[in-house]
C-alpha cells in the first residue's frame, strides 16, 4: 500500500493563506464556490491545515499521514483510523466526542478542533472523498505545496 501526504517548500510559500481558503471551500457545502462557502455555509469548516509564519519564513502545516500515528493510538472512541486502501489517517466524525486527546498527541500540531454545534477533530484528509488532488495543492499560486507518495 502506498500513502500520500502534502509536503511544502517554505522558500516558495508567501503566506497568502489561499491554501486555507480553498481547504475550507473544498470541505464546505459549496465545494466549488469560495464566496458561497464563506458567506452561506452556516457550518463553515475550519481549515485542515495551518499556515505558520516566523519573520520571512512561512509554510503550510498539515497532517503528515504518519505510518504509526500517535493521534490514532490516543483516540478514546476509535474515531481516528487509517484507511486501509489509501493509507490516509481519517476522522469518523460521528464517533468523535471532542475530547482532543488527538490534538495533544499529534507531534506536528496538525489536528484542530472543528467548529459548529458538535465540534469534532479536524485534520487533512487529502480531499480524498471529493478531489483527485488536494485543494490546497491545486490552488497554491507559487506551487509551494505538492503531494508526495511514499511506500508504507
Average pLDDT of 44-61? 89
- Confidence check: pLDDT of 1 > 60: no
In this prediction, residue 131 carries a pLDDT of 80
Average pLDDT of the chain, as a whole number = 90
Average pLDDT of 120-148? 91
In this prediction, residue 2 carries a pLDDT of 54
Residue whose C-alpha cell is 503566506 = 15
Residue whose C-alpha cell is 505510518 = 67
Average pLDDT of 34-52? 89
The 10 Å Cβ neighbour count of residue 42 is 7
Q: Which domains does the chain have, with CATH numbers?
A: 2-151 (3.30.70.20)
Average pLDDT of 112-131? 83
Closest to 127 (Cα-Cα) out of 35, 13, 32: 32
Residue whose C-alpha cell is 507531534 = 107
In this prediction, residue 152 carries a pLDDT of 46
Note every long-range contact of 81-87, with CB atoms under 8 Å and residues 24 or more positions apart, other chains counting: 83/128, 84/1, 85/1, 86/1, 86/3, 86/4, 86/126, 86/128, 87/1, 87/2, 87/3, 87/4, 87/152
101 — phi, psi (to 5°)? -65, -30
In angstroms, rounded to a whole number, what is the distance separating the alpha carbons of residues 41 and 39? 6
In this prediction, residue 150 carries a pLDDT of 67
How many residues would you count in the chain? 152
Rg of the chain taking only CA atoms, in angstroms: 15
pLDDT digits 0-9 by tens, 66-117: 989 999 999 999 999 999 888 899 999 999 999 999 999 999 999 988 877 7
Amino acid at each position: 500500500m502506498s500513502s500520500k501526504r502534502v509536503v511544502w517548500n517554505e522558500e516558495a510559500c508567501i503566506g497568502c493563506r489561499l491554501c486555507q481558503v480553498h481547504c475550507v471551500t473544498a470541505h464546505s457545502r459549496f465545494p466549488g464556490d469560495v464566496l458561497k462557502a464563506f458567506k452561506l455555509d452556516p457550518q463553515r469548516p475550519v481549515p485542515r491545515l495551518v499556515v505558520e509564519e516566523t519573520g520571512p519564513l512561512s509554510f503550510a502545516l498539515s497532517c503528515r499521514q504518519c505510518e504509526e500515528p500517535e493521534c490514532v493510538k490516543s483516540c478514546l472512541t476509535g474515531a481516528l483510523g487509517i484507511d486501509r486502501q489509501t493509507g490516509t489517517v481519517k476522522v469518523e466524525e460521528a464517533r468523535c466526542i471532542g475530547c482532543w486527546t488527538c490534538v495533544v498527541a499529534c507531534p506536528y500540531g496538525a489536528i484542530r478542533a472543528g467548529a459548529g454545534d458538535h465540534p469534532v477533530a479536524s485534520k487533512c484528509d487529502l480531499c480524498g472523498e471529493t478531489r483527485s488532488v488536494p485543494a490546497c495543492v491545486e490552488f497554491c499560486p507559487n506551487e509551494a505545496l505538492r503531494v508526495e507518495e511514499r511506500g508504507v
